[in-house]
Structure 1
Amino acid sequence: MKKITIAIDGFSSTGKSTLAKQLANHLGYIYVDTGAMYRAVAFFAMQNGYISASFFDKETLINSLPFIRLEFKFNPDLGFGEMYLNDTNVETQIRTIEVSNFVSKVAEISEVRSKLVEQQKQMGENKGIVMDGRDIGTVVFPDAELKIFMTASATTRAERRFAELKQKGDNVTYEEVLKNVEERDYIDTHREDSPLVMAEDAIEIDNSHLTREEQFEVVLSLVSEITKTN
């Protein structure tokens, strides 16, 4: 069966990564979480004091990009690749609400996007890849055979994200998470460089009332239809 490129875009906390991992594991494809790449750059900026609630030294971050090395290393126990920043595993650190508060601001920077998009395109040269993010179907893989655009209400996404963070032991409030979701939505859809939009040939999936299993079956059936005709 011919391998294809699957591009999954959508709003924050819609479960893009969960779906992408399910598909990659089932199909034997490579999975790439582009959000983790942007989170790692945001974490780097935080570590080095380039960004805070009231300060953002964009120029210094841009000048530091040549010194940022990102790599996914497969963890057989987890079944997916974890994010490494300059040879250090930062998978846990980049999933915090603090990083979430800054990642969209970092992702607005054209130089950051250019660096990461170039890497992402190289990763998918041989197809057989599932990649999720904000501009995969519009910028990274505009010719992807299957494009999915995921959405859900802001309150639904905030509830899911809040439960996830609380389970990890993070000290956050629902109001804080909802504010973060809404702010990220605004920044992602209003930035000048590669804003979050649904590709014309993408299939929209509102998973507000879908379980993970139901969503997976819907998308898997789409994959089957496409691979049968390719």
Structure 2
Amino acid sequence: MKLLQGKTVLVTGGSTGIGRAAAIGAARHGADVAINYASSDDKALSCIAEIEALGQRGLAVKGDVALPETAADFVAKAVDAFGHVDVLVSNAGICPFHAFLDMPVETVDRTFRVNLHGAYYMVQAAANQMVRQGGGGAIVAVSSISALVGGEFQTHYTPTKAGVHSLMQSAAIALGKHGIRCNSVLPGTILTEINKDDLADDAKRHYMEERTPLGRLGMPDDLVGPIVFLASDMAAYVTGAALLVDGGMFVNLQ
């Protein structure tokens, strides 16, 4: 059963990690997929190759989500290629781990601009296109368990993920009258490029695994099912919701 048959899905940060898994997963469910990516042309092209190998159309658009014009450009190019936008997966994010007391201003600013401002601009641009074309749509934002808990070396990151979660709640209210559903997923510790250096420490990785009731850390593919569900008509009456995808870590943080 292909849950996204005939839909066009846009994914930010789509060349690696959760974004890449979501893009390929959407194609597996029958969607044409446009990905935004920041830097790696080779990884973006290989993602598109996987999408096309599944019999779907793919498009890669390079751009920095921290810039408002990137969102307008991404949506416009997706519409030019596919004719419409049905789903946005707002996923692009960074987490440069750093201590709080000497956190560089530029690190704080960049993290907020990519993670929160970038999500805002992308959601707004996609929503405007959905309103113009009619017929509703779905927006899924990748927040984090960090929206709900703190992190000593993530004082700049956790507020942005709380903001993304809050953005989906408010956007759900603002866009409901247009038939646009807005939800977030809150991943736990997922093995991606963001945390590969942090989790290279075997002792820390084992500690994180022990804190997870399911006994393992997450993989990007673990997010595909939840994202596809929220993007699909199976979630037709779900909006303003937040879905933890963390192997049970949050309920075990005591």
TM-score by length of 2: 0.38
| Structure with a larger share of its residues in strand | 1
